[in-house]
Amino acid sequence: TGYLLSLSGEYDLLALNQHRNLGIAVAVWGILLLLLQKSVLTKRLGAFFQLILLVLLSMAGHLGGSLTHGSDYLSQAVPEPYRNWLGLPPVALEPAKIENLPEANAYAAVVAPLMQEKCVSCHGSTKQKGKLRLDSPDFIQKGGKNGSVVVAGKVADSELIRRLLLPKSDEKHMPPKEKNQLSESEIKLLHWWIENGAAYDKKVKDLPQSEAVKPLLVALQNGGNTEATTE
């Protein structure tokens, strides 16, 4: 089944090959241990052989998890205070404040963090579902296997927004229903950015702001929850 999944072309080739080779190594080593379980060598070095199997299995499993959930899937689950002991940055309990939001780059300050949190695990460097990456402007402009997903100034023609608005039960809905979903406010911010040209070099103040969008941007500057602002 892993081999069949690899044929989709949605995964980073280097990580995929490493995961495959380690998987093969686990199988081969396990078969050898089974065949040699009653040998004198295994009786003497059995614990060492089992340790090798455990290491191979752990490495293969870790790479598989990275391909499926993103390279930081383990570090994101580490609780405090262990994060500090391991030199990991603390998990933000609320969005960071954006200093001087009007002067900030609209894509870098508003859109990129949103995509990093909600989209990149499936559309990033290690996994490219639908051959689509959303972790940089160049890749967003390139689109996926079905073409562009963001059409500047045309929200209705932007596949990204269409997929976000599909029912969760629809297999084409993004993100998948088991993943962390975008809030209504986050979708509105993406809508605002695309509607106003999907520019990567414009400041927030340079884009028109409707009465519905203004409080969402104010919430970002204050480091608060955009959902709370719309209630």
Mean pLDDT, range 190-207, rounded to an integer: 95
Cα–Cα distance measured from residue 140 to residue 77, given in angstroms and rounded to the nearest whole number: 28
Mean pLDDT, range 192-208, rounded to an integer: 95
218 has a pLDDT exceeding 80: yes
For the segment 26-43, what is each residue's pLDDT rounded down to a tens digit? 999 999 998 888 888 878
Cα–Cα distance measured from residue 150 to residue 143, given in angstroms and rounded to the nearest whole number: 8
Predicted model pTM: 0.67
Burial classification of residue 156, based on how many CB atoms lie within 10 Å of its CB (0-12 exposed, 13-18 middle, 19 or more buried)? exposed
Would you say 63 and 22 are in contact if contact means Cβ atoms under 8 Å apart? yes
230 has a pLDDT exceeding 50: no
How high is the pLDDT of residue 77? 65
Weakest mean pLDDT among 55-59, 115-119, 219-223:
219-223
Would you say 110 and 193 are in contact if contact means Cβ atoms under 8 Å apart? yes
How high is the pLDDT of residue 227? 52
226 has a pLDDT exceeding 70: no
231 has a pLDDT exceeding 80: no
How high is the pLDDT of residue 91? 54
Would you say 127 and 7 are in contact if contact means Cβ atoms under 8 Å apart? no
How high is the pLDDT of residue 224? 55
Looking at mean pLDDT, say which of 45-49, 67-71, 87-91 comes out highest: 45-49
Mean pLDDT, range 201-210, rounded to an integer: 93
Mean pLDDT, range 190-209, rounded to an integer: 95
How high is the pLDDT of residue 78? 67
Mean pLDDT, range 138-155, rounded to an integer: 93
For the segment 84-136, what is each residue's pLDDT rounded down to a tens digit? 776 765 555 455 577 788 999 999 999 999 998 889 888 888 888 888 999 99
